[in-house]
């Protein structure tokens, strides 16, 4: 009743295990950096703040506005969170939001949660903050305009990343999924941009000190600007390429062998589903299965360990 | 709004309710990973996995088809996979015309599409069961034990704790907007879409400020109650013999499912 799902949350089963694991690895790495940065720069006071802010993003997604014909637009909040909280804190906050959506509401899967966090939390925060950071010393109208553009681009980037993951998993054909995803989200992103700009304008008018604080506390602004601009460029360049001439992108993925790798199940590391020295018997297939499962388990434990050490 | 407005927990005393949350989280993840690893068209294995869920439902005392009833949430997303029906080369099963396009469904495409939907549908049922038989704070505690960084676990528990408070705040904002949005019959109501979006943006900004100021009060209140930067529990978790036994049985079931899906 209060909760409206966002069409970017991938459920379990729609990504191949390899794409899911690669996305988890990237997400875990970025989150490990985010955790160590926030642990260093934030006092214990900031933790309750981030927790309440996570609830804020979740609740803000319930604010909708009627568009036309019974449909309504609402906020995703990635760019807004990055601008008001700073990038690392925003990433943690968005991660918590996506985790609760998956755990409590089954909106988005568990083993594909890495991909969902990457698409809706990390990429959106990087674009939102990176582009905004570039104009943080300009006048207010420029800042608002760039924030709006960043909000729109962040939604498009999330949609494009989702589309590419679905394609690599062999769940959708590239051209169709890119065109539909980007088409739908071009409109959703427009709503996102309008709400983000209006919310920022409201905060500028009432508590400008909060925004100065957030942007002053983050270091390494050059890196963020670079990351934001690079991801935006990638979206702008890749989108027409993938939707107009998908053969090009498919060709690259095929030539590098990545397509086959991403769509295969990891058991194919073990040729023909059998352990070589046992021959082609059912037992051999079962053992091959067990070995595969253990490899995945070991990888995830290793990833968990390294994450723990870094934090 | 009551604090359990968002809660999906169904109270009970079944063996699954009392199972250590770590076991439940691990079995759920193993089950979903196992689904993702099953090859397309492994119908026997898919059926076995579903039987596993049905048994878990029955043991939990929530009713055999409890998870089934709520499992259709992921179905709209199946649209994303619909293109494989036509794009994978294979024997044509059926073809039809829609407007100006001609579609041919192939057998390989159909196999892939149904497999994707079934995998997703099985996985979501397991996740539904997990939150129905485990209190959410216990899940967070289990995640903490499973090496999720402390700061993320704490943010999640705050999110869970304050979600209903801020949802109340949103309800008040929405009600206030509703109350000020009078319409006269026969005349166009409301401004342009940009204007409506601006109003929604103002509400989001308002909500942000209220949340921000609330977090200050929350922190002060917590300090006065002895907060030291990490959440505590009065239910320390210990593995009992039952936890090992049920966990082991579940893992063996999952391995059997895998084997069934891979036998020639």
pLDDT, tens digit, 9 for 90 and up, residues A224-272: 888 888 888 888 888 777 766 666 666 666 666 656 656 654 444 444 4
Which helix (H) or strand (E) segment holds residue A122: the answer is none
Q: Is there a contact between A111 and B196 if contact means CB atoms under 8 Å apart? A: no
Residues of A in contact with B127 (CB under 8 A): 12, 102-103, 106, 109-110
Alpha helices for chain B (secondary structure H): 15-18, 21-37, 43-60, 66-69, 84-87, 107-133, 136-145, 150-179, 193-224, 241-262
- Return the number of other C-beta atoms located less than 10 Å from residue A117's C-beta: 27
Hey, CA dihedral for A273, A13, A166, A174, is it positive or negative?
positive
Q: Which two tokens stand for residue A250?
A: 């498919």
Alpha helices for chain A (secondary structure H): 17-41, 46-60, 78-85, 87-105, 113-117, 123-134, 140-168, 174-206, 208-217, 221-244, 246-255, 258-263, 282-310
Q: Is there a contact between A273 and B36 if contact means CB atoms under 8 Å apart? A: no
- Chain A residue with the nearest C-alpha to that of B167: A59
Contacts 24+ apart (CB under 8 A), A297-301: A299/A21, A300/A21, A300/A24
Q: Over range B155-179, report the average pLDDT.
A: 89
- Given this model, what pLDDT does residue B230 score? 67
- Given this model, what pLDDT does residue A311 score? 41
Of A165 and B192, more confident: A165
Region of residue B61 (phi > 0: left; psi between -120 and 50: alpha; otherwise: beta)? left
Span A122-138, pLDDT tens digits: 999 999 999 998 888 88
Of B118, B121, B201, the CB nearest to A202: B201
The radius of gyration of chain A's CA atoms, rounded to the nearest angstrom, is 21
Residues of A in contact with B77 (CB under 8 A): 7, 9-11, 14
Alpha helices for A245-310 (secondary structure H): 246-255, 258-263, 282-310
- The answer to ipTM > 0.90 is no
Q: Which of B8, B25, B121, B7 is nearest to B71 (CA)?
A: B121
Alpha-carbon distances of A221 from A119, A139, A196, rounded to whole Å: 22, 18, 21
Residues of B in contact with A265 (CB under 8 A): 37, 39
Residue A41 at interface with chain B, using a CB cutoff of 8 Å: no
Q: Considering chain B, what percentage of its residues have pLDDT values greater than 70?
A: 92
- Given this model, what pLDDT does residue B219 score? 86
Q: Is there a contact between B170 and A194 if contact means CB atoms under 8 Å apart? A: no
Euclidean distance between CA atoms A177 and A167, whole angstroms = 8
Place of tokens 């979501």: B124
Q: How far is CA A233 from the centre of its chain?
A: 17
- Chain A residue with the nearest C-alpha to that of B86: A173
Residues of A in contact with B39 (CB under 8 A): 265
Euclidean distance between CA atoms B20 and A242, whole angstroms = 47
Residue A279 at interface with chain B, using a CB cutoff of 8 Å: no
Residue A253: half-sphere exposure toward Cβ, Cα within 13 Å: 18
A86 phi/psi in degrees, rounded to 5:
85, 155
- Chain A residue with the nearest C-alpha to that of B35: A13
CA distance to partner chain A, nearest, from residue B92 (Å) = 18
For an interface test with B, the pick among A198, A208, A210, A306 (most B C-beta atoms closer than 10 Å) comes out as: A198
Query: Which segments in chain A show pLDDT lower than 70?
Result: 1-7, 42-43, 67-73, 213-220, 243-311
Q: How far is CA B259 from the centre of its chain?
A: 27
Residues of A in contact with B156 (CB under 8 A): 54, 96, 99-100
pLDDT confidence bin for B27, thresholds 50/70/90:
very high
Q: Is there a contact between A288 and B193 if contact means CB atoms under 8 Å apart? A: no
- Given this model, what pLDDT does residue B32 score? 93
Of A74, A172, A198, the CB nearest to B198: A198
Q: Is there a contact between B194 and A99 if contact means CB atoms under 8 Å apart? A: no
Of B189 and B261, more confident: B261
CA distance to partner chain B, nearest, from residue A142 (Å) = 17
What is the distance between the terminal CA atoms of chain B, rounded to a whole angstrom? 55
| pLDDT over 70 at B161, yes or no | yes
B7 phi/psi in degrees, rounded to 5:
-75, 140
Euclidean distance between CA atoms A80 and B257, whole angstroms = 45
* CB contacts < 8 A (A, B): 315
Span A13-29, pLDDT tens digits: 889 888 999 999 999 99
- Given this model, what pLDDT does residue A256 score? 61
Of A93 and B227, more confident: A93
Q: Is there a contact between A10 and B34 if contact means CB atoms under 8 Å apart? A: no
């Amino acid at each position: 009743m209060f909760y409206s799902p966002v069409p970017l949350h991938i459920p379990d089963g729609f990504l191949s295990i390899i794409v899911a694991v690669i996305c988890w690895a990237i997400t875990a790495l970025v989150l490990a950096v985010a955790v160590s940065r926030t642990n260093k720069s934030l006092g214990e006071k900031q933790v309750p703040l981030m927790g309440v802010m996570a609830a804020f993003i979740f609740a803000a997604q319930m604010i909708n506005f009627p568009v036309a014909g019974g449909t309504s637009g609402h906020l995703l909040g990635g760019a807004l969170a990055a601008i008001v909280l700073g990038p690392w804190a925003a990433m943690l906050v968005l991660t918590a939001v996506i985790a609760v959506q998956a755990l409590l509401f089954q909106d988005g899967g568990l083993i594909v949660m890495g991909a969902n966090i990457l698409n809706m939390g990390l990429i959106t925060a990087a674009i939102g903050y990176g582009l905004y950071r570039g104009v943080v010393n300009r006048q207010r109208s420029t800042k608002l305009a760039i924030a709006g553009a960043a909000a729109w681009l962040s939604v498009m980037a999330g949609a494009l990343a989702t589309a590419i993951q679905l394609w690599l998993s062999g769940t959708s054909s590239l051209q169709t999924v890119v065109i539909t995803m980007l088409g739908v989200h071009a409109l959703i992103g427009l709503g996102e941009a309008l709400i983000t700009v209006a919310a920022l304008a409201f905060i500028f008018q009432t508590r400008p000190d909060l925004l100065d604080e957030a942007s002053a506390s983050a270091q390494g602004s050059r890196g963020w600007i670079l990351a934001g601009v690079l991801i935006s460029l990638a979206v702008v360049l890749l989108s027409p390429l993938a939707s107009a001439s998908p053969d090009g992108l498919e060709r690259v993925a095929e030539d590098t062998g990545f397509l086959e790798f991403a769509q295969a199940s990891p058991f194919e590391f073990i040729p023909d589903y059998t352990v070589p020295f046992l021959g082609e018997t059912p037992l051999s297939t079962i053992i091959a299965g067990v070995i595969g499962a253990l490899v995945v388990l070991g990888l995830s434990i290793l990833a968990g360990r390294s994450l723990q050490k870094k934090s | 709004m009551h604090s359990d407005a968002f809660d999906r927990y169904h109270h009970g005393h079944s063996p699954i309710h009392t199972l250590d949350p770590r076991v439940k989280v691990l079995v759920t993840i193993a089950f979903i990973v196992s689904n993702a690893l099953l090859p397309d068209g492994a119908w026997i294995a898919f059926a076995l996995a579903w039987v596993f869920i049905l048994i878990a439902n029955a043991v939990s005392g929530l009713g055999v088809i409890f998870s089934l009833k709520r499992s259709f949430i992921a179905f709209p997303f199946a649209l994303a996979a619909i293109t494989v029906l036509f794009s994978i080369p294979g024997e044509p099963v059926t073809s039809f015309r829609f407007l100006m396009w001609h579609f041919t469904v192939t057998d390989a495409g159909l196999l892939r599409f149904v497999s994707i939907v079934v995998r997703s549908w099985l996985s979501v049922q397991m996740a539904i069961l997990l939150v129905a038989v485990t209190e959410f704070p216990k899940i967070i505690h289990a995640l903490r034990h499973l090496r999720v960084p402390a700061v993320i676990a704490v943010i999640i528990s705050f999110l869970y704790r304050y979600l209903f408070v801020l949802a109340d705040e949103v309800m008040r904002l929405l009600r206030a907007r509703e109350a000020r949005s009078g319409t006269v019959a026969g005349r166009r109501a409301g401004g342009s879409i940009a204007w409506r979006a601006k109003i929604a943006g103002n509400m989001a900004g308002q909500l942000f400020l209220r949340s921000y100021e609330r977090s200050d009060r929350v922190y002060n209140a917590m300090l006065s109650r002895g907060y030291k930067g990490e959440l505590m529990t009065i239910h320390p978790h210990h593995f009992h013999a039952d936890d090992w036994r049920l966990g082991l049985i579940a893992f063996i079931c999952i391995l059997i499912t895998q084997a069934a899906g891979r036998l020639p």
